[in-house]
Amino acid sequence: RKEVEQDPGPFNVPEGATVAFNCTYSNSASQSFFWYRQDCRKEPKLLMSVYSSGNEDGRFTAQLNRASQYISLLIRDSKLSDSATYLCVVNGARGTTDSWGKLQFGAGTQVVVTP
């Protein structure tokens, strides 16, 4: 089983609609979580960190469900510019040998916003 799993998509979303997708992780002791956005042939860029209580940044809302070991990203009022691959990133547990300096990346979920 992969440590971080994402639905590869693509999620085809009409402009203005809402889209949501999840990312599951296997290490129940994971401590920190992030969503990155990667445009085609570009480097990943931090979209937002994911906090235990959930957090919002404009049209983007991130949630963490520790019991079921997943994080989610919701995009409201989708724009054409939201078309990208969204990477889920999970840090290892505090005190484990691989937690220092190592983040686990999902393979990404592709979102395509159509006019």
Asked whether position 96 contacts another protein by CB under 8 A, the answer is no
Among 19, 23, 73, 89, binds another protein (CB under 8 A): 89
Q: Scanning residues 67 to 86, which ones bind another protein (CB under 8 A)?
A: none
Burial (CB < 10 A; 0-12, 13-18, 19+), residue 70, is middle
**Nearest distance from residue 95's CB to another protein, in Å?**
10
Token pair 């005190």: residue: 95
Token pair 């983040």: residue: 103
**Which range binds another protein by CB under 8 A, 16-24, 34-42, 58-66, 73-81?**
34-42
Asked whether position 42 contacts another protein by CB under 8 A, the answer is yes
User: What is the size of the binding site for another protein (CB under 8 A)?
Assistant: 24
Residue 87 half-sphere exposure, CB side, CA atoms within 13 Å? 17
Q: Which two tokens stand for residue 27?
A: 């290490």
- Closer residue to another protein in complex, CB, 107/112: 107
Whether cis (ω within 30° of 0) applies to the bond prior to 14 is no
Separation between Cα atoms, residue 81 and residue 96, nearest integer Å: 38
The footprint of another protein (CB under 8 A) covers 31-32, 34, 36, 41-46, 49, 87, 89, 91, 94, 99-103, 105-108
